[in-house]
Structure 1
Amino acid sequence: MKWMKTWSWLIGLGLLSGAQASDRAGYFGLMDADTYVGLGVAQQTIKVKDFKDTKVPGLVLTVGTQVSSWVDAEFRVSTNQKQIDIKHADFNVEMQFDEFYDVSGLFKFKWQGQGSAQPQPLGLHATLGYNFSQYKTREVNAGVAQDVNKQTQDGFMYGVGASFKLNPSHTVELNYLSLQSRDSFDNTGQMKRDSIGLSWLYYY
């Protein structure tokens, strides 16, 4: 688990270094900047075996750089805005999540009219990456709270999205992501999360 956290942070540091050194020209007029930062909102649906699906809002910070006209590399940090209570489907048991954050490194495979005669403001993309999550949990059984446990999980993530470039510096982006945990969650089964997010990206 520690090596995955280190890997994610190294990707982020690499992207930040690239942001300082990058001065390359883009593929066409609407992409004359190849490094970007972004801020957005997202709603996650958390799915745990035998528990009810739970939706929770959060914030997303993005740093990215253009590897080629077809591929971007991104580093994302996200956090939920409130404590999450996941209720059992059948019993008077719930799981409380707190201090929940995600660190992700991913590649974004994009199409935005490459090769066409005219610039295309509308773009489509697919994403593939790896996610590291850390949070605190507490089981509440029949109203009695148990000890707090610190949890970490990691797994692959993939998704699709669309973007609209307002001008060479500003883009609005819509994303759907599915995060697959490879670890068990409190011995209750695998945790899966779907996320729908809207972000504003600034290119420079």
Structure 2
Amino acid sequence: MSSSTIMILVDLLAVSILVFGIYYPRHHRSDLVVAFLGVNVGVLAVSQVLGSSTVGAGLGLGLFGVLSIIRLRSSEISQREVAYYFAALALGLISGMSTEVTTLNISLMAVLLAVLAVADSRLVSNGVRTMEIRLDAAVTDPAQLPQEINARTGAEVVDATIESIDFVNDTTLATATVRTNGRNRLFPSRSALSAPSSEMTTASATTATSVPSTVRSAQR
């Protein structure tokens, strides 16, 4: 078996661990699974062609530079998912440009997987999320914003910034970093929403009545 074939198999194993072992069990976005696999295999194929032809390295790096700035306008991806995107690209590049199987190449791929596995875990994030929140009230006082977000989400607000205020529709667009744990829920449970009003606690009632506020997760 040639070195190129071995590196192709190593790349397929590495990207499978990245996508199906690390990313998908944590984020469950099947559309990005297809994107990560497509980017990895595509870069691997192009790298193999460039490595076996007379095409200059400068042209090859230029092609990868074009790949790196492509952004699909159909949907937004978070900075965390951008990291997975470049990891998939890097794995394909390392495997495709390797003329032989070396300990360095295998180690670099393993380190890349290990870093992402640790960085995208609760060991680092500790339940902290950054979200874009649209409140159903025009909040003009930045000091009051964390209280308004806490009243609607039940989460501890680490930081909050007012992005825009709409006095016509009485709404506020804000970016908030919140910390959630077992006691703090971003949304009320289904049982709380279906329970009679007389049995709901004050905190649950406050959260349930504010469900119309739009909260769009934009993890960063």
Structure that is richer in strand per residue: 1
Structure ID, larger Rg: 2
> TM-score, normalized by length of structure 1?
0.25
TM-score in terms of structure 2 length = 0.23
